[in-house]
């Protein structure tokens, strides 16, 4: 018997008995205290707790019954009681056992008798200790699970077979716009008809009905709702509902789908035109008119080149999104970059009889950027300012700087746009369709690309325009703060 750390209180009014028991138990390694009557015992127990109490039943004053009562009331199973009684009081000893004492020992007894009973009591005490530890652990595990469930970003609801929610974490309350209360109904929980229908199926479907995942809109949010049968020993006892906010993924998917269908549409029309020209040539109807064939081939070439431009732009956008465009960030003088670009576009401007001007003061226009990105932004704007201009018009690029930012205004005196035409200007493939733009080729990807590139620099682009008067694009680009 291992008695290490076990404490015993021996309560007996007979000194010989008391001391005898003390000796035997001490030898076995118990920590032993003695009390000579009930009052003394209660005093001692108020001061310290004992694992075991050996209680003499018949004592003057407060007797063994009362002491046992006190122990059960104050310490419950924390102190195991063994009643010590004379043969004449065995019945009473049995009685007190039924009121909470663990066992009894009949006087006179040998040390071996004592140890046998005490050993059983010690085992009982150990069992109780183990159960207490287990319960404490279980309780703290429950608390932990509860905390985990409550801190989750997913909403969790558990519904029992009576169709009552029995658990709902705060996130689920938020998604469902409700407050959990014991005994609330599914309707009060705010589930949609769709979810209720699936839940019902999971309740009734004994065989296969596994997990079901569905999506549904809750105001501006797209929620993914996952319903799983809650099983205990293979039997259905309820349904576990998980809810996740998938708004971002959903929006991205929608953008992607929209983009793919636009790409398909944009690729179709030039290809269809080219195939059409080839088919006409193949009929042989213009075999005798090489000029006509030339003209059609020329048009096919233009459409083919436009298609290639479009594909290149798409490839660039794709690479950029995937982070595969190599960048080399360096301090660059934006005014010098733009002067270069204007020089580069000189040929095209002269062909369209457009005068290009660069207006700037002596401010510092240094930016920290990738040269390729700056070309994408400003070459597109300059090229548009020439393309959508009128013969003899002007394109002016003006640079100014405030404390933090550099403002670049690209102004033309061209065809301009109405408010309505500008509404979707920065969307991929958007092109203004009117008689003035009909002969001008483009992909509709330039401004969308500019916007995406600028986003990467925390830059902004604004537009002002008036039909027949011209257009001004203003780019706000963060400048490198100049040393004071
Ligand atoms: P595109 O390849 O068609 O030029 P962009 O994305 O650069 O594509 O421009 C989108 C549309 O915006 C153009 O098709 C055109 O209708 C209009 N636009 C762009 N810049 C100007 C401008 N400076 N003046 C008038 N319209 C413009």
Span 146-195, pLDDT tens digits: 999 999 999 999 999 899 999 999 999 999 999 999 999 998 999 999 99
How many Å lie between the centroid of ligand 1 and the Cα of residue 406? 23
If we measure between CA atoms, which residue out of 246, 239, 172 comes closest to residue 210? 239
Q: pLDDT value at position 484?
A: 43
> How many angstroms separate the CA atoms of 114 and 25, rounded?
9
Domain at 7-143: CATH code: 3.40.50.2300
pLDDT classification of 209: cutoffs 50, 70, 90: low
Which residues of the chain form CATH 3.30.565.10? 329-478
pLDDT classification of 1: cutoffs 50, 70, 90: low
CB 399 within 8 A of CB 359: yes
If we measure between CA atoms, which residue out of 339, 336, 397 comes closest to residue 367? 336
Supply the DSSP string of 125-166, one letter for each residue: HHHHHHHHHHHHHHHHHHHHHHHHHHH-SSEEEEEETTS-EE
Q: pLDDT value at position 262?
A: 80
Q: Is any ligand 1 atom within 6 A of the Cβ of residue 414? A: yes
In this predicted model, what pLDDT tens digit does every residue of 82-110 receive, in sequence order? 999 887 677 887 788 888 899 989 988 99
CB 229 within 8 A of CB 210: yes
Domain at 256-320: CATH code: 1.10.287
96 backbone φψ class: left, alpha, beta (φ>0; ψ -120 to 50): alpha
Q: Is any ligand 1 atom within 6 A of the Cβ of residue 430? A: yes
CB 404 within 8 A of CB 392: no
Mean pLDDT of 197-217: 83
By DSSP bridging, strand 355-360 and strand 155-160 are unpaired
In this predicted model, what pLDDT tens digit does every residue of 75-85 receive, in sequence order? 988 899 999 98
Least confident of 181-195, 259-273, 279-293, 415-429: 259-273
How many Å lie between the centroid of ligand 1 and the Cα of residue 137? 69
Task: Identify the residue whose C-alpha is closest to ligand 1 atom 16.
Answer: 432
Q: Is the pLDDT of residue 207 over 80?
A: no
Q: Topology of 329-478 in CATH?
A: Heat Shock Protein 90 (3.30.565)
CATH level 2 (architecture), domain 153-245: 2-Layer Sandwich (3.30)
**From start to end of 51-102, where are the E strands?**
52-56, 80-86
Which residues of the chain form CATH 3.40.50.2300? 7-143
Which residues of the chain form CATH 3.30.450.20? 153-245
If we measure between CA atoms, which residue out of 213, 206, 160, 150 comes closest to residue 183? 160
How many Å lie between the centroid of ligand 1 and the Cα of residue 413? 14
């Amino acid at each position: 018997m291992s008695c290490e750390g076990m404490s015993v209180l021996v309560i007996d009014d007979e000194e010989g008995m008391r001391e005898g028991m003390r000796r035997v138990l001490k030898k076995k390694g118990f920590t032993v205290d003695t009390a000579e009557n009930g009052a003394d015992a209660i005093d001692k127990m108020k001061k310290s707790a004992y694992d075991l109490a050996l209680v003499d039943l018949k004592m003057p004053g407060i007797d063994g019954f009362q002491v046992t009562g006190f122990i059960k009331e104050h310490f419950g199973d924390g102190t195991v009681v063994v009643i010590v009684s004379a043969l004449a009081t065995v019945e009473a000893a049995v009685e007190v056992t039924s009121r909470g004492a663990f066992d009894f020992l009949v006087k006179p007894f040998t040390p071996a008798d004592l140890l046998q009973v005490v050993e059983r009591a010690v085992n009982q005490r150990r069992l109780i200790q183990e159960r207490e530890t287990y319960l404490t652990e279980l309780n703290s595990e429950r608390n932990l699970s509860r905390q985990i469930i409550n801190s989750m970003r997913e909403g969790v609801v558990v519904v029992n077979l009576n169709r009552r929610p029995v658990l709902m974490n705060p996130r689920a309350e938020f998604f469902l716009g409700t407050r959990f209360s014991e005994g609330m109904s599914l309707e009060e929980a705010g589930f949609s008809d769709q979810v209720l229908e699936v839940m019902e199926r999971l309740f009734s479907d004994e065989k296969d009905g596994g997990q079901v995942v569905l999506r549904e809109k809750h105001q501006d949010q797209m929620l993914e709702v996952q319903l799983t049968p809650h099983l205990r020993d293979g039997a259905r006892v309820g349904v576990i509902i998980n809810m996740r906010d998938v708004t971002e993924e959903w929006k991205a998917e929608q953008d992607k789908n929209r983009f793919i269908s636009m790409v398909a549409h944009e690729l179709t029309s030039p290809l269809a035109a080219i195939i059409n020209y080839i088919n006409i040539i193949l009929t042989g109807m213009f075999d005798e008119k090489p000029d006509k064939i030339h003209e059609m081939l020329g048009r096919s070439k233009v459409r083919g080149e436009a298609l290639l431009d479009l594909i290149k732009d798409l490839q660039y956008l794709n690479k950029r999104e995937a982070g595969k465009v190599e960048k080399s960030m360096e301090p660059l003088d934006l005014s010098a970059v733009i002067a270069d670009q204007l020089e580069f576009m000189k040929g095209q401007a002269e062909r369209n009889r457009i005068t290009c001007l660069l207006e700037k003061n002596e401010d510092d226009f240094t930016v920290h950027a990738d040269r390729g990105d700056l070309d994408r932004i400003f070459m597109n704007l300059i090229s548009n300012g020439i393309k959508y201009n009128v013969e003899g018009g002007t394109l002016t690029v003006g640079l100014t700087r405030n404390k933090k930012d550099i403002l670049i205004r690209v102004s033309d005196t061209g065809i301009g746009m109405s408010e309505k035409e500008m509404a979707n200007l920065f969307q991929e493939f958007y092109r203004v369709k009117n008689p003035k733009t009909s002969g001008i080729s483009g992909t509709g990807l330039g401004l969308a690309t500019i916007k995406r590139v600028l986003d990467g620099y925390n830059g902004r682009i604004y537009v002002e325009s008036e039909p027949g008067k011209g257009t001004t694009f203003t780019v706000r680009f963060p400048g490198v703060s100049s040393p004071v």
